[in-house]
A and B are shown apart, each in its own frame.
Chain A
Amino acid sequence: MAQAAAGSSAPRSHTVEFNHGKIARDMAVRRAGKIFMIFAPIVGYFFLWAPIIILIVFSFNASRSVGQWRGFTLEWYSNIFNNIAGSEARFSTSEMLQSFGTSITIAIITTLISTALGTMVGMSLARGNYPGKRIVDNLLFLPVVIPEITQGVSLLIFFNLIFNYLRGNGLNAAPGLGTIIIGHVVFTVSYVAIVVRARFADMNPRIEEAAADLGATPWRTFWRITFPLILPGVISGGLLAFTLSLDDFVVTFFLSGVGSTTLPVFVFGLLRTSVTPEINAISTLILIMSTILIGIAMVLQGRDNIAKTA
């Protein structure tokens, strides 16, 4: 079969003899491949980074228009902290800072809950052996692949019906920080579980066996041996949860009530109304923030890799 396929492109010689035409063609293919492999990644990286770099550069541009460069300025940064953005847009620095505070509060509580739940379920999947483990595994997989908008809509319906029922019974309940945090835990817990579980996979189980052999109780083994070893995984899982929560727009958009506007929801409001250089400044600050967080998470994981190879 292979011969028939080969025969279609170049006649196969059964004696050992050089087919100079084929060699020349193959060398040309290799050269073309090499050139392609130089240009394709350049184009790829350019595509990934150009918008980010342009955004940052133009947040310092003295001109209001992106089309021209009129020199360096910090005016837009100073504007967003002095209640100014654009000529006609209504902008409030206190609203911006308040939404930032809300985002941070939500991200911290989300991180605490989903790190605890995610670490436990990650450990149970890595070390446990119980009926229904496959179901747990697939259940954790679902929030990662179900579109965010479906999650947002389903929780909106869910809370609306529950709150209606509660109001019908004289209890007061409204969407706000609590509903947002609940939604954020749903889509961050899986990420923590994945990272923690991967950390378990890298760990030598003999160390735990040794602790058990030396008479340590499972509880003591966990806190003295297992937990310190998985801690970098727990921290980087927590940082991912924090970043995901801080950056989330879609789920938050559906779950936020009055007075629970987060920074992304606030920025989305600005983006819908106008394009001003001040938005570039806010966006640059947000980019720097998430870059720092992810940088820390990656360094933590990178250190693991170094430890693993040593």
Chain B
Amino acid sequence: MAFNIDLSSSSGYDPREKRRGGLLALPAVLWLAIFFIIPLLFVVGISFMTRGTRGAFISPELTLDNYARIFSPTYFSVFVKSIWIAVLTTIICLIAGYPLAFFVATRKSRWAANLALFLVILPFWTNFLVRTYAWRLILGNEGLINAVLVGLGIVEQPVQFMFTDFAVQVGLVYGFLPFMVLPIYATIERFDFRLVEAANDLGANDIRAFLRVVLPLTMPGVIAGCILVFIPAIGSFITPELLGGNQGLMIGSLIQRQFGGTGNWPLGAAASVVMMGIVMLALMVYAFASSRRK
């Protein structure tokens, strides 16, 4: 499921040293156990508790009310909408990302390949907040698109793009597209293109060769890319907050609001647990899909 490179069988260290190598993992493991796993367990615990009174956020009376509220129509619709937006984001990223990954992976010269890859990676590593904000300049009522539309006389009044689901959708695809491109690129780069020639020689045209040879063999990258886009998309908070305003409420904003000044911590914790459940489900599908391919 994780990073499957195992070199433990060959190196200059003897078996006793190799076993002691576990000690090297200890500091990081402890750090993650204390500051990652235990806090997650806290969230699960608190999701079954009651909202506190008079300054306290939590009161330790056990209840299932928080989950009942999550599955009540008001909150449940936010979940359904978030899942829908995340699925749509994943599909659009796949359609847009595959050709881009294909292009990067098939550059002939080393120089062109490096440049093509660099141009995909760089936006990925620049500040997410700033990149998301940039869309306001494009989609705003006084933004670039509306300036062009009004200037050309196509519309009288500026079109309201900002603070809609459309803006959130654009922002999410933009933010997570590199997550789709990079794993697909990695599998296409290893792909042996003589297989396409072989398929052509056997009478398959390019579409058929793509669907029957290239796509199945690059599927691991596609699956990994879909997971890497879906998970941050469903948990996204910055994008709906900056581009969606009040209309674009998604799980992330819902959770964040529960942890604000007058929020309901146990309810927010329950929403986090349900979201983690969705993420775990996605990871299980991924693990199942990649184990079946082996």
Contacts and interface: CB of A to CB of B under 8 A. Distances in A.
Interface of B is mostly: helix
Interface stretch (B62-70, B73-81, B94-102, B187-195): B94-102
Contacts of A291: 122, 126
Interface stretch (A78-86, A89-97, A113-121, A169-177): A113-121
A141 B3 contact: yes
Interface string B189-231: 0000000000000010111000000000000000000011001
Interface string B213-251: 000000000000001100110111110011000000000
B133 interface: yes
- For chain B, which range describes its interface: under 10, 10 to 19, 20 to 34, or 35 or more residues? 35 or more
Contacts of B136: 275
A162 B28 CA distance: 21
Which has the most chain A C-beta neighbours within 10 Å: B5, B96, B255? B5
Given A51-B174, A127-B11, A186-B36, A44 B127 contact: no
A272 to B, nearest CB: 8
A153 B103 contact: no
Contacts, number: 316
A158 B275 CA distance: 19
Interface in A114-139: 116-118, 120-121, 123-133, 136-139
A298 interface: yes
B155 interface: no
B12 A210 contact: yes
A145 B286 CA distance: 12
A153 B28 contact: no
B207 A29 contact: yes
B35 A186 contact: yes
Contacts of A230: none
- For chain A, which range describes its interface: under 10, 10 to 19, 20 to 34, or 35 or more residues? 35 or more
Contacts of B272: 149-150, 153-154
Interface string A140-179: 1111011111110111111011000000000000000000
Contact of B133 (A124, A137, A145, A283): A283
Contacts of A267: 129-130
A198 interface: yes
Chain A to chain B: the 7 pairs with minimum beta-carbon distance, closest first: A128-B21, A147-B235, A208-B12, A67-B147, A40-B99, A130-B22, A124-B24
Interface of A: 6, 12, 22, 25-26, 29-30, 33, 36-37, 40-41, 43-45, 47-52, 54-55, 58, 65-68, 116-118, 120-121, 123-133, 136-143, 145-151, 153-158, 160-161, 182-183, 185-186, 189, 193-194, 197-198, 200-201, 205-213, 218, 221, 240, 243, 247, 249-250, 254, 264, 267-268, 271-272, 275, 279-280, 283, 286-287, 290-291, 294, 298, 302
